[in-house]
Amino acid sequence: MSTFDYAAVRVTALRLLAQFGNAVALIREDTGGTYDPVSGGTTGGSDLTLNGTGVLLDYMAGDIDGSLVLATDRKLLYQGDALQVGDKFGAWRVLSIGDLDPDESGTLLTTAQMRR
């Protein structure tokens, strides 16, 4: 069984994302803070800005099931700093994440389900 060389595909994908995508800055709130069980909140810490390039798209009608994927959800195709569920992009927050790494040489693209 031969292995496929993803190097050229990786270069093309990154070029297309750079050409058609936009700069994206997501916020991860309260990194490094301390949880206070009395108040139920977090004190200290600061927000972390995650930078990358991305494209925010609508889901295709066949992907919307009304439960896991809502008609108002958006799909973010993103390449940059590693995302986590709960990170925010404006009024949108990351609900789920899927990383594409076909040759195990590092994440090529992250697909994030975004919801308001």
Query: What's the total number of domains in the chain?
Result: 1
Q: Which of 11, 87, 76 is nearest to 48 (CA)?
A: 87
Q: Is residue 7 part of a domain?
A: no
Q: Is residue 14 part of a domain?
A: no
Q: Is residue 11 part of a domain?
A: no
Query: By the 8 A CB rule, do 53 and 77 touch?
Result: no
Q: Is residue 60 part of a domain?
A: yes
Q: Is residue 9 part of a domain?
A: no
Q: What angle do CA 97, 8, 77 make, to 5 degrees?
A: 25
Model confidence at 2, pLDDT cuts 50, 70, 90, reads: low
Q: Is residue 69 part of a domain?
A: yes
Q: Is residue 38 part of a domain?
A: yes
Distance of alpha carbon 111 from alpha carbon 116, whole angstroms: 16
Model confidence at 66, pLDDT cuts 50, 70, 90, reads: very high
Q: Which domain holds residue 47?
A: 22-115
Query: Mean per-residue pLDDT for 2-20?
Result: 85
Q: Return the DSSP state at 14.
A: H
Whole-model pTM: value is 0.81
pLDDT tops 70 at residue 31: no
Q: Is residue 4 part of a domain?
A: no
Distance of alpha carbon 100 from alpha carbon 97, whole angstroms: 10
